[in-house]
Amino acid sequence: MSSSTTETATLLSAAVGGRRSLRLGTATVLVQPRGVLIGVALGLIGVVVLVLSVATGTISYTPGEVIEAILGGGEDSTQLVVQETRLPRALTALLAGGALGASGAILQSVARNPLASPDIVGFTQGAGAAAVLQIVVLGGGPTATAIAALIGGFGTAAAVYLLAHRRGSGVAGYRLLLVGIGAAAAMAAVTSYLLTRADVRDAQQAFVWLTGSLHDRTWADVRIVALALLVLLPLALVRDRGLRILEMGDDAAQALGVSVQRSRAVLLLVAVALAGAATASAGPVLFVGLAAPQIARRLARSGGPSVALATLTGAVLMALSDLIGQRAFGDTPLPVGVVTGVLGGAYLIWLLTFERRARH
């Protein structure tokens, strides 16, 4: 991004007020005092939820025992439960939630639409159709399902992007939305068809996957999402300013010197890859990608998008939901997607009802 854009963006944000810009080498990060406060609070809640997830369950441990076991000390049985079962699951929840939150925040800005999610490029439905096909027809294990989901999701997203491309005008945002709607609907129909034609037990297993579940997560899942976040999140954060400008519309962004086509392509790729990593490890968890950016915006009381806050919100929403799903329903633990839907939905409704005035 050219330096003139940087200056324009800084000027623009200065005009909005209440923000400080922080220069780190060539990158300028906009910092809002309230945003930082919320960010720190979310981080702390995340840590508390992580410790609670690892410490509670059929066998409970004190926080001291948990920390000891994580560091490699304590009794062997404690180490086994903490290191091999609870910690990977809790970490997958945090990381996948974060990835979905970031992905949603990027997409909602790129599409300039609060209803946008990886659905708009057909990713979720493509992943869902392929994963359900794998479960009810091929019958492979969880790894096969994850791979199928990635192939289906990225395949559909790539097809949507190419179909939305037109010589001369490139990929217009509006056309991308509409092509995505069509592709997503076709894939959803394939999923419905497979669910009705399959054996009921297979269908139900597929339905649980579609809802999003963290059952039996291992360190391999943690590594996938962690790697994705490590590589992709900085890319998105650096482009946070570009996002704010893209939100003003294609023409305004062009006038401000942002290369709309390239920015949009890179950001879309980053967002879909983040959602892909989360989907591979936890399934297409309901609603986190949609709700996290909206909740983050309202918590920060800012009109603009914040990828960082959406990431933290997504992480907390997902980890807290899994904790509730596992511990609050006795013998029949609920998959995380059920709780994210209810919790995220209810919290967003509460925020909408009591926010001081309409943001938009």
Partner 1 sequence: MVTVPEREARAGAPRIPLLVAAGGLLVLVAALGISVGAKSIPLADVWGYVFSPDGSDDASIVHDQRMPRTILGIAVGAALGAAGALMQGLTRNPLADPGLLGVNAGAATAIVIALVALGTTEPAAQVWFAFLGAAAASMLVYGIGAARGRSASPVRLAIAGMAVTFALLAVVAAITITHPRVFDQYRFWQVGSLAGRGTSVIEQLGPFIVAGLVLALLIARPLNALALGDDVGRGIGASVGRTRLLGAVSVTLLCGAATAAAGPIGFVGLTVPHVARSLVGPDQRWVLPVSMLFAAILLVGADVLGRVATPTGELEVGIVTAIVGAPVFIAIVRRRRVAQL
Binding to partner 1 by residue 340, rule CB under 8 A?
yes
Q: Are 166 and 175 in contact (CB under 8 A)?
A: yes
Is 207 or 219 the residue whose CB approaches partner 1 more closely? Answer: 207
Which string of x and - marks every residue 137-176 that binds partner 1 (by CB under 8 A)?
A: --------------------------xx-x-------xx-
Q: Looking at 59-67, 255-263, 287-295, 304-312, which segment touches partner 1 (CB under 8 A)? A: 287-295
Q: Please name the residue that has the structure tokens 């959406």.
A: 310
**Shortest approach of partner 1 to residue 201 CB, angstroms?**
8
Q: Are 225 and 278 in contact (CB under 8 A)?
A: yes
**Shortest approach of partner 1 to residue 200 CB, angstroms?**
5
Binding to partner 1 by residue 326, rule CB under 8 A?
no
Binding to partner 1 by residue 352, rule CB under 8 A?
yes
Binding to partner 1 by residue 182, rule CB under 8 A?
yes
The count of residues interacting with partner 1 (CB under 8 A) is 58
Binding to partner 1 by residue 116, rule CB under 8 A?
yes
Binding to partner 1 by residue 287, rule CB under 8 A?
yes
Residue 112 backbone zone (phi > 0: left; psi -120 to 50: alpha; other: beta)? left
How many Å apart are CA 145 and CA 209, to the nearest integer?
9
Binding to partner 1 by residue 294, rule CB under 8 A?
yes
**Cα dihedral: 39, 41, 42, 43 (round 10):** 90
Q: Are 43 and 312 in contact (CB under 8 A)?
A: yes
How many Å apart are CA 113 and CA 305, to the nearest integer?
11
Phi, psi of 287 (to 5 degrees): 80, -15
Binding to partner 1 by residue 292, rule CB under 8 A?
no
Find the DSSP H helices in the chain.
3-16, 33-55, 63-70, 76-80, 87-110, 123-133, 142-164, 173-197, 200-211, 219-238, 240-246, 250-255, 260-282, 288-300, 307-327, 336-354
**Shortest approach of partner 1 to residue 293 CB, angstroms?**
11
How many Å apart are CA 245 and CA 67, to the nearest integer?
44
Which string of x and - marks every residue 183-212 that binds partner 1 (by CB under 8 A)?
A: x-xx-xxx-xx-xx---xx-xx--xx--x-
Is 93 or 334 the residue whose CB approaches partner 1 more closely? Answer: 334
Where do contacts with partner 1 occur on this chain (CB under 8 A)? Answer: 113-116, 120, 163-164, 166, 174-175, 177-179, 181-183, 185-186, 188-190, 192-193, 195-196, 200-201, 203-204, 207-208, 211, 286-287, 290-291, 294, 332, 334-335, 337-342, 344-346, 348-349, 352-354, 357-360
